Amino acid sequence: MIDVQRLRVLQEVARHGSFSKAAAALRFTPSAVSQQIAALERSVGTEVVHRGPRGVRLTKAGLLLAETAETVLAELRATRARLAELAGGSRTLTVATFTTGGRRLLPAALTALTAAHPDVEPVILEREPEDSIPLIRAGEADLALVYRFDRALPLRPGDRDRLDWTPLHADPMSLVVHRDHPFAGRDGVDLTEAAGERWVLGCTKTTEFLHRHAAEAGFELHVSGSSTDYYFAQAMVRAHVGVSLIPELALDPDPDLTAIPIHPPRPTRHLGIVTRHHPSPEAAALRTALLKQV
């Protein structure tokens, strides 16, 4: 039989790449970590790590066990949480969300959820997809509101067997300019027409997209401002600092600003919901409530 504690030790070794760092994370001694790994190898009948002067790396068997460990430990965390809820009478629902989703989509869905399930206690974490998906994977969050642009979600091998992606909303981008800008009043614009503009960037992923587009089109972005907040970026557009690329969901209704659709192929954020394959009843109910918002 494979010992769960030994799987936990292996998971930390995989995460940190050394016995000493895994020991520090677990508050064990390096010797204790080494003994736990040796005992795991005896129980499965094969090596799970290669030991070398520059640290350790997992064998194929070790990688398989580490992947299994993540699933098993996540399920145990979820089970412990459910047992605590049964004992205490309240249920916790942990939700990870990016800022715009938390501002525009989540409040109404949570209102509907808590009205139907008053014993549910929501816990909200503001996270980008690359940080929220690992929380679902590890059982530390029940549902994540995430997005992607033209690139795939930051999933790992095996995730599609353990996690569910539910499409939620296509969120097209617009060029946002001040109302007195020459582009104001137009019904569409090509991004190459804005090659000479000063830009205010409101998201690291938007920044990556714009730099790629500029490189492909043969021009260099003139960046006058950079932020991780679309609302701040629009405030800078209002102050005539520059123009910005903003998703529809984050558009700030302001008489001083004009949003102009980008000509096809229009850059678009694809919003979705990530849960484990078998979500808790509360996570499933929130997913349903979110789908009703769009």
CATH number, domain containing residue 18: 1.10.10.10
Same domain, 126 and 263: no
pLDDT digits (tens, 9 = 90+) for 154-181: 666 556 667 888 999 999 999 999 999 9
Residue-wise pLDDT tens digits, 30-46: 888 888 888 888 888 89
CA distance to 37, 40, 138, per residue, from 27 (Å): 15, 19, 20
25 and 139 share one domain: no
Looking at the fold, whether 11 and 24 belong to one and the same domain comes out as yes
pLDDT score at 250: 94
Within this chain, do residues 154 and 184 fall inside the same structural domain, yes or no? no
Q: Which domain holds residue 177?
A: 170-269
Instruction: Clarify whether residues 44 and 121 are in a common domain.
Output: no
Three-state secondary structure call for residue 284? helix
Report the domain count for the chain.
Answer: 3
pTM higher than 0.85? no
Query: Do 29 and 146 fall into the same domain?
Result: no
3-state secondary structure of 151: coil
Q: Tell the burial category of 226 from Cβ atoms under 10 Å away from its Cβ (0-12, 13-18, 19+).
A: middle
229 in the same domain as 211: yes
Q: Give φ, ψ of 229 to 5 degrees.
A: -130, 115
Going along the chain, which residue ranges are E strands? 49-52, 55-58, 91-97, 120-126, 143-148, 163-178, 198-201, 222-226, 244-247, 257-261, 268-276
Q: pLDDT below 50 — which residues of the chain?
A: none
Residues 50 and 190 in one domain: no
